[in-house]
Amino acid sequence: MNRSRRLSQPLYESLPGLYVLGGLVALVASYFVAFLHVVSLVLGLGGLGAVIGGVVVWLRRRDYRQLRANYSDPDFLGREFGCTGTTPPPRASFSAEPLTGKNEE
């Protein structure tokens, strides 16, 4: 049987918070064991990595869900750029003057 094991949704949703909480605990522990230099360094770096990892996972999930929600609404991109119906978005205006490469004053 090739069934993939999955986490329950409440546990999956709480993982970024658990990463941040574990990282903060490790950072505080590294402060209290500062007299053990190597242990303090390992706890501090691990805690910082866990906090950053938790925040990154949380932000990536949020952005992915927002992107999926926007793609389920086909008119979202048109409204975003001020278009209605089948009107294309406004084009950027560019200068028609050629580049001369000289400094003109």
pLDDT along the chain (105 residues), means of 10: 76 93 96 93 96 96 86 63 56 62 57
pLDDT for 70 equals: 76
The CA distance from 83 to 9, in Å, is 38
DSSP 27-89: HHHHHHTTTSHHHHHHHHHHHHHHHHHHHHHHHHHHHHHHHHHHHTSTTHHHHHTT--TTPPP
d(Cα 12, Cα 17) in Å, to the nearest integer?
10
**Tokens standing for 75?**
């008119």
The answer to whether the predicted template modeling score (pTM) of the entire model surpasses 0.85 is no
- The reported pLDDT for the residue numbered 32 is 94
Q: Report pLDDT for 78.
A: 58
What pLDDT, on a 0 to 100 scale, did the predictor assign at position 90?
Answer: 59
Check residue 67 and give its pLDDT: 84
pLDDT of the residue at 26:
96
Write the DSSP symbol of residue 101.
-
